[in-house]
Structure 1
Amino acid sequence: MNAIWYEPFSNSSEDKLAAERAQSFYMNWFLDPIILGKYPSEMHDILGPDLIAFSKYDSEKLKNGLDFIGINHYTSYYVKDCIYSTCEQGKGSSKTEGFALTSAQMNGRSIGEPTALAWLYIHPQGMEIIVTYIKERYNNIPMYITENGFGMIEHSSDDVKRVEYLSSYLDSLATAIRKGADVRGYFVWSLLDNFEWNHGYSIRFGLHHVDFATLNRTSRGSAFWYKNFIAQHKAMVGIKLGHTQE
C-alpha cells in the first residue's frame, strides 16, 4: 500500500480537515473497506450517492480481511484546504481527490530536502507518523515496510545521501516501534538498480549499481552500510533498531 504522510500546511482547522481528506482519498479508501467494512466518512461527505454503499453482507464479509499491511513509504506532502479556502488547481484539488491540494512545496516552504525525483522530498519523521497513524486507525494490524528507498541519477558508488536517508527513516521507524507499532519487517527499495515504472532506467534506487549494458553489478557504499546495520541489530522485541554504531 503506497502510504504518504499528509501534513496540514497550517494549524487551521480547515487544513487539518483537508489532511484527513487527503489521507482518506489516497490510502484509506483502499484499507477501510478491507479492514473496517466501509468507505471513509470523508469520502461519503464529499461524494455522497456517487460512492457505492456496501451491503450489510458485503461489509461483514470484508471486515478484518487482512493478515498484515504492506507499506510503501518514501515521502510526505503538505495539504491545503480547497473547500473553505481559496485554492489553486493542482493535485488533490478536485472533488474526486477530496478538495485537498497536496504538494511538497507551498508558498515558498518545502516539507523537506528535494532529491533527483520531483515527487521525493526527505521528511523522515513522516515514517513514524504514518506508521503510528495506521497502527491507531487499524487496531495495530501487523505491518511490513515493503518499500523505502532513495533514488539518484548519478551512477556513482558513493551514495552518502542514500545512507543518510535510510538511516534517518530507520530511526523514525524505530521510534514508532518503541511506541508499540507492530512492525514485523523492513525492506529497502531496492537491492539492485531496476526499471522504474515512471522513470525507466534513468533513476537508480539500488544498493548495488547495475551496468545495464554488461549487467555487471557493483556494491555501493549504502550496501556496505546496510550490511553492517543489519549485522549490528537482531530482530527482537523492543530492540532499538534506529541507532547505528560508528
Structure 2
Amino acid sequence: MMQATTAVRGRTERAGGKRAEWTGGLSRRSFPAGFVFGTAASAYQVEGMALKDGRGPNICDAFVKIPGEIANNATADVTVDEYHRYKEDVNIMKSMGFDAYRFSISAGTGKVNWKGVAYYNRFINYMVKIGITPYANLYHYDLPVALEVQYGGLLNRKVVEAFADYADFCFKTFGDRVKNWFSFNEPRVVAALGYDDGRFAPGRCTKCKAGNSATEPYIVAHHLILSHAAAVKRYRQKYQHTQKGRIGILLDFVWYEGLTNSTADQAAAQRSRDFHIGWFLHPIIYGEYPKTLQVIVKERLPKFTPDEVHMDMLQSVIPQLKIQNMICKLVVFLIVRIMNFLIPLASPGAADERNGVLIGNRANSDWLYIVPWGLYKAVTYVKEKYGNPTMFLSENGMDDPGNVTITQGVHDTTRVAYYRSYITKLKEAIDDGANCIGYFAWSLLDNFEWKLGYTSRFGLVYVDFRTLRRYPKMSAHWFRDVVTSKN
C-alpha cells in the first residue's frame, strides 16, 4: 500500500522542487533531542466491536442511536475495525516513522471483561514489539451507560471514586508496558457539549429532554477535575515509583483573538480563554477556578473543599510537575475564533472574519479554520500564563469531506500544507521557550467522526469504508520524510 502512493508523493516533490521545499525545511533535527512524533485516535472512533466480545454499552452508543443526531444516522459499531486490524495499523505507523500512538481504553463496569483486557494486552504488546510507544488515555467521551443509569454518571460525586478504581486497574494491568497515561480527553468538551448544548453524549441541556445548562456543566467539570486528581493520586502512591511512568490530562484549547484592540474586545477574548482552557487548567495548576468564572458563574460554580485542595487532591499534585516528571498535556484544536463578546458557557458570540476577510481557509468541519499563527499564540499563552508546564500537542489535524474518492483522498495537498505550516509555528514556539516535547497528528485513519459520522476524513491514511482497506495519503509520506530525515 505504501508503494501505491509513493509515486504520487514523488510527482509532488518534483513539481515543488527540492526536498527542503517539500518538508518546509522541517526534520527531527528541527526539534529538541527526544521530541516525540506520534499519531492518535480514540477507542470509540476506530475499534468497532461495539456489540461483541463483552463490551458493555456506553453513552455514545446510546447517543448515536437517536435519529438525526449523527450524519446519515451512522454508528461506530464497526467503524474501521482496529480491534481486528491493529497490527496493520501499527505497521503503517512504523512505516511512517512515528514514535508513538495515543489511544484510549474503553471502560467497563462491574465484572472485568477479560476478552477486552486480552485485546489491549495484544495491542500494547505489539506496539512495544514493533517499536511504537503506547500513550494510553483512560477516558474519551465513553462513560458506561450503567453508571449513567445507576446514579447519573458524571453528575454524581460517586464517579470520582469509580474512575479512580478503573484507573487503578489499568495501571496495575498495563502499567508494566505503558509509561504515559492520560486521565481525560478534552473534559471541557465533555462538560460543555454534553451538558450545556447537548450536542454530544449524553445529550443533556435545558432545551433537551433532560438537563440544566446553567448548572450541570459546572458540576460535571468539577467531578472531572476531582476524578483526574484522584487518578493521579492513585498512580503516584501505588505505581509511579516502580513503573517509572507519568500521568497527565488532555485539554483542548481554542485560541481567541479580540475582534479589535479595544479594551472591551481584549477583555472578551480573555474571558473566552478563561472559560475554555482556564476552566480546567487553572484549578489543576493553582487550586481554584479563574476569577472570571467565579465572578460570572457565582453560586453555580462548585467550590473545592479545603481537603480537596490541601490533602493531595489538587495543588499538592500539580506543583511537582517537573520534579515528579509528570505532564500537563495540551491538546490544541487549531481554530482561531475572533471574539467580540462572550455569553458565558453558551455558544460564544464569535466571528470567523474581520473586516469581511476570513481568518483562514475553512476545512470540511464548519468550526475548523486553517490559521497557523493560532497555534503559536495558544502554546505561548500556556507557557506564559501557567508557568511553562511540560506539554505535548496531542491532537492536530484537518478534515476533508467524506465523499472524496480514493484518488482524491490520497492526493491531500491541502493537508500537507496544513501540517507544514502548523508544525513550523510549533517549532517557533519551542524556539521561543515553550516546553513542548511532542506532537501527535490527528488522526492516523479516516474514521467515525462523532456528529459527522463518515462525512469527514481527518486521517493520514484513507480508509475505504466499504472494504476497510487502508491507503496512506500524501500527508503520510510527508510525515515519513520529516520524521525520518537526519538532515
Q: TM-score range by the shorter chain?
A: 0.7 to 0.9
Name the CA distance, whole Å, in 1 between partners of 2:391 and 2:329.
Answer: 6
1:10-45 superposed Cα distances (whole Å, 9 cap, x missing partner)? 000001000010011111101111111000011112
Report what 2:330 is aligned to.
Answer: 71
Shift, 1:100, TM fit: 5.2
> 9-18 or 146-155, which moves further after superposition?
146-155
The reply to whether residue 124 of structure 1 matches residue 376 of structure 2 is no
Q: Where does 1:28-47 land on structure 2 (aligned, <5 Å)? A: 28-47=278-297
Amino acid aligned to 1:39: Y
Structure 2: 5+ residue runs without aligned partners? Answer: 1-250
Show CA shifts across 1:66-125 (max 9, x none): 6222222221110112xxxxxxxxxxx43444x952232356332211222110101000
Q: 3-state SS of the aligned residue for 1:75? A: strand
Alignment partner of 1:209: what SS?
strand
Matched with 1:2 is 252
Give matches, 1:109-188, under 5 Å.
Answer: 109-153=357-401, 154-155=404-405, 156=408, 157-188=410-441
1:62 to 2:314 alignment: yes
* Alignment CA distance shift 1:95-1:228 (3 Å): closer
Contact 2:259 2:265 in 1 (8 A): yes
Secondary structure of the residue aligned to 1:3 is strand
- Between stretches 51-60 and 180-189, larger displacement belongs to 51-60
> TM-score if structure 2 supplies the norm length?
0.44
Look up the match of 2:343.
94
Native 8 Å contact 1:3 1:72 kept in 2: yes
CA RMSD of aligned residues (A): 1.9
Contact 1:68 1:143 in 2 (8 A): yes
Query: Take 2:449 and 2:344, find their aligned partners in 1: how far apart are those partners?
Result: 30
More helix by share: 2
1:184-228 Cα offsets, whole Å, 9 max, x none, are 110111111111112111111111111111111111111111100
2:274 matches 1:24: yes
Determine which structure has greater relative contact order: mean sequence separation of CA pairs < 8 Å that are 6+ residues apart, divided by chain length. Answer: 2
Which residue number in structure 1 is paired with residue 465 of structure 2? 212
CA distance in 1, matches of 2:360, 2:444: 25
Which residues of 2 match residues 181-196 of structure 1 at below 5 A? 181-196=434-449
- Residues 33-66 of structure 1 show CA distances to partners (whole Å, capped at 9, x for unaligned) of 1111000011112122332232333223311436
* SS in structure 1 of the partner of residue 443 of structure 2: coil
Asked if the contact 1:21–1:100 (Cα under 8 Å) also holds between the matched residues in 2, the reply is no
Q: Which runs of 5+ in 1 are unaligned?
A: 82-92, 234-244
1:232 Cα deviation from its structure 2 partner: 2.0
User: For 1:80, which of 319, 340, 353 is the aligned residue?
Assistant: 340
1:198 aligned counterpart, secondary structure: helix
Aligned-partner residue type, residue 212 of structure 1: F
Q: Structure 1 counterpart of 2:411, which letter?
A: D
The answer to whether the 8 A contact 1:18-1:100 is kept is no
SS at match of 2:338: strand
**Matches of 1:183 and 1:151, distance apart in 2:** 24
Normalized against structure 1, the TM-score is what?
A: 0.84
Contact residue 47 and residue 96 of structure 1 kept, 8 A? no
The SS at the match of 2:283 is helix
The C-alpha deviation readout for 1:160-180, integer Å capped at 9, x for no partner, is: 000000000000000010011
Larger mean CA deviation between 108-117 and 12-21 belongs to: 108-117
Tell me how far apart the structure 2 counterparts of residues 96 and 168 of structure 1 sit (CA, whole Å): 31
Bigger shift: 49-58 or 72-81? 49-58
Provide the aligned length of Structure 1 versus Structure 2: 222
